[in-house]
Amino acid sequence: MVAEEVAVSLSKEEILRYSRHLIMPEVGMEGQLKLKQAKVLLVGAGGLGAPLGLYLAAAGIGRIGMVDFDVVDFTNLQRQVIHGTKDVGRKKLDSAFETMRDINPYVQLDRHETALTSENAFEIFKDYDYVVDGTDNFPTRYLVNDACVLLNKPNVYGSIFRFEGQATVFAYEGGPCYRCLYPEPPPPGLVPSCAEGGVLGILPGIIGLIQATETVKLILGIGDPLVGRLMLYDALGMKFRELKLRKNPECPICGDHRTITKLIDYQEFCGIPNHPPVEAPVVTGEIDVTELKAKQDRGDKFVLVDVREPHEYQIARIPGSVLIPLGELPKRLNELNPRDEIVMHCKMGGRSAKAVDLLKQNGFTKVINVKGGITAWSDKVDPSVPKY
């Protein structure tokens, strides 16, 4: 088989497969061959990467690379439809590629089983025409943006939170970039807690397919690309809104006076400590779940306060706890007695640490945080308590 021939023509089987594209003049043989010659990199094989991988493979993109180092777990299955129950525990790339190969064996799939870093981004990106951002965190988003701007490659962007999504195409032919839209990320402390997190499982399907649509349009050169426009989607209101996205002349990476000319340390940029201390600092007033269990078994006198939200309390609870959500705590301090020993827990330990601080500021002295929260309780004390 001669490689060039494969690159510029369709086999009889491929013609049949792509017939619904071929009979549309906007795509046709010419367009389908453009798709076949296209090289698209998907960063992330999660919620957004799943529909992207499925549909871009089906559409006949010639070469698709995927960057991901994660393993499929049960909590992924509610939205990451490229993986199935049988895939739990497998590498996401193995699982995703198996599905994509089944959908379309004519696609070349490139494995990039690694975290995307400032060190490897250029090397990974260089072989692709389009980069599609399906990541789930700010450091990687700024890294993808900067690498795309510096390499002059379009960055097909999508992002989701609960019931809302955003999509646009950044860095297209010198157009606005992610830093033009948001010069800086929020500091970690201001990111919504797990109680406010979560995502409607269908949402990444919608946003991922907007990204897939834009990628295909850019390759085909048809329609109006989602450039210079930020699309907002609200699932609850079932509304799409479009906002103007302008190039910021003061943008540090694509503006008139550029100060960023190479990739930087994105963890540091986002205020996330690069190297968490090996030994967590000893916090007085913190116990782990086995100590909590021992306290209960000994019959120690204390009040166990769960500071999660009511909907989380419905999912799982530690026996003997009373529920006072963190947000209500300031108004409900009178329900607690400063003379009692008060032990506080949440899902993972973050919110209850805040609750402990709040109580101490209000004159409580015997307040203890439960490290690892109910998740650790399920891991180490009572596996019958569901994790979520």
Partner 1 sequence: MAKILIPTPLRQFAEKQDSVELPGATVGEVLGALTAKFPDLKKHLYNDEGKLRSFVNVYLNDEDIRYLNKDATPAAPADTLSIVPSIAGGANYGG
Q: How far apart are CA 180 and CA 267, in angstroms?
A: 20
Question: What track of x and - describes contact with partner 1 for positions 241 through 260 (by CB under 8 A)?
Answer: xxxxxx-x------------
- For tokens 């899902």, name the residue: 347
* Cβ-contact 247, 231 below 8 angstroms: no
Choice between 52 and 346, CB closer to partner 1: 346
Which residues have CB under 8 Å from 7's CB, separation 6+?
36, 37, 62
Closest CA to 269 of 132, 137, 115, 125: 137
Query: Which stretch, 32-40, 97-105, 107-115, 187-195, contacts partner 1 (CB under 8 A)?
Result: 187-195
* Cβ-contact 10, 32 below 8 angstroms: yes
Q: State in angstroms the smallest separation of the CB of 327 from partner 1.
A: 7
Q: How many residues does the chain have?
A: 388
Question: What track of x and - describes contact with partner 1 for positions 144 through 183 (by CB under 8 A)?
Answer: ---------------xxxxxx-x--------------xxx
Q: Judged by CB under 8 A, which of 349, 364, 370, 376 binds partner 1?
A: 349
Q: Judged by CB under 8 A, which of 36, 317, 351, 371 binds partner 1?
A: 351
Choice between 103 and 206, CB closer to partner 1: 206
Choice between 127 and 379, CB closer to partner 1: 379
Determine, following the binding rule CB under 8 A, whether residue 106 of this chain makes contact with partner 1. no
Sign, CA torsion 113/118/122/128: positive
Q: Judged by CB under 8 A, which of 346, 356, 367, 376 binds partner 1?
A: 346
Q: Judged by CB under 8 A, which of 13, 26, 73, 184 binds partner 1?
A: 184
Determine, following the binding rule CB under 8 A, whether residue 313 of this chain makes contact with partner 1. no
* Cβ-contact 41, 125 below 8 angstroms: yes
Q: How far apart are CA 384 and CA 181, in angstroms?
A: 46
Query: Which stretch, 33-41, 84-92, 196-204, 255-263, contacts partner 1 (CB under 8 A)?
Result: 196-204
Choice between 16 and 191, CB closer to partner 1: 191
Phi, psi (5° rounding) for residue 97? Answer: -70, -35
Q: State in angstroms the smallest separation of the CB of 243 from partner 1.
A: 5
Choice between 117 and 193, CB closer to partner 1: 193
Q: Where are the alpha helices (DSSP H) in 303-349?
A: 310-315
Choice between 88 and 348, CB closer to partner 1: 348
Q: State in angstroms the smallest separation of the CB of 48 from partner 1.
A: 7
Residue 1 exposed, middle or buried by CB count within 10 Å (0-12, 13-18, 19+): exposed
Q: State in angstroms the smallest separation of the CB of 22 from partner 1.
A: 36
Closest CA to 41 of 128, 157, 109, 137: 128
Mapped onto helix, strand or coil, the DSSP state of residue 49 is helix
Q: Judged by CB under 8 A, which of 13, 26, 30, 196 binds partner 1?
A: 196
Residue 58 exposed, middle or buried by CB count within 10 Å (0-12, 13-18, 19+): middle
Neighbours of 46 (CB within 10 A): 21
Sign, CA torsion 298/303/305/310: positive
Choice between 17 and 347, CB closer to partner 1: 347
- Characterize the bridge pairing of strands 367-370 and 342-345: parallel
Interface with partner 1 in residues 225-244 (CB under 8 A)? 230, 232, 237, 241-244
Q: Judged by CB under 8 A, which of 192, 223, 320, 338 binds partner 1?
A: 192
Q: What is the identity of the amino acid at 80?
A: Q
Question: What track of x and - describes contact with partner 1 for positions 66 through 85 (by CB under 8 A)?
Answer: --------------------
Total binding residues for partner 1 by CB under 8 A? 48
Q: How far apart are CA 1 and CA 172, in angstroms?
A: 36
Measured CA angle at 350 (ends 346, 351), to 5 deg: 55
Asked about 177 being catalytic, the answer comes back as no
**Catalytic one of 148, 254, 270, 346:** 346
How far does CA 198 lie from the centroid of its chain?
11
Binding site for partner 1 (CB under 8 A): 46-48, 135-138, 141, 159-164, 166, 181-186, 188, 190-197, 199, 230, 232, 237, 241-246, 248, 327, 346-351
The residues annotated as belonging to the active site are: 194, 346
